[in-house]
Amino acid sequence: MKCVPIALTQVLQTDTKNEIFAKLLFAIPEALAKKEYFACGNCKANLLIYDKVTKDKPKVCSRCGCMVDWVGIKSVLVNQCPQCQKAYTQLDRFCSDHDPVVSLKQVEVAI
Ligand SMILES: [Zn+2]
Ligand SMILES: [Zn+2]
């Protein structure tokens, strides 16, 4: 199961009784500027905390167990050469630096 994180402002506007609201009150004093808060797109009851400094983010919702899909929000998919780590666009298929040809692999990188 996969879920897409929801920006917290959207959640709070639509559901002010959500328990996330209570959790957030605890979290606020702790370096608000360094963190960004999202709600789990599946259970909508868990806070997903993105650390702007370390770029750490949860892979799985600790409440409902869904895989958090950060692609397009905090990461992008790029094609990368498994040998020299050179990054390419999604349209590229092969690394230009090797003979014999090396196929690129899709990887998720933080933005
Ligand atoms: Zn969840
Ligand atoms: Zn290469």
Residues 34 and 81 in one domain: no
User: What six digits make up the tokens of 17?
Assistant: 């009784």
Give the residue-averaged pLDDT of 78-91: 94
Residues 43 and 19 in one domain: yes
Residues 20 and 61 in one domain: yes
Count of structural domains within the chain: 2
Å from CA of 24 to ligand 1 middle: 16
Q: In this structure, is the dihedral angle defined by the CA atoms of residues 81, 57, 75 and 63, taken in order, positive or negative?
A: positive
**For position 103, what pLDDT does the model report?**
98
Residues 53 and 21 in one domain: yes
User: What six digits make up the tokens of 53?
Assistant: 């400094």
Residues 37 and 20 in one domain: yes
Q: Which residue has the higher pLDDT, 7 or 78?
A: 78
Residues 61 and 79 in one domain: no
pLDDT tier at 44 (50, 70, 90 boundaries)? confident
Å from CA of 66 to ligand 1 middle: 6
Residues 57 and 29 in one domain: yes
Residues measured by CB to lie within 5 Å of ligand 2, the ion: 81, 83-84, 86, 95, 97
pLDDT tier at 47 (50, 70, 90 boundaries)? confident
Residue 90 structural domain: 75-110
Å from CA of 106 to ligand 1 middle: 26
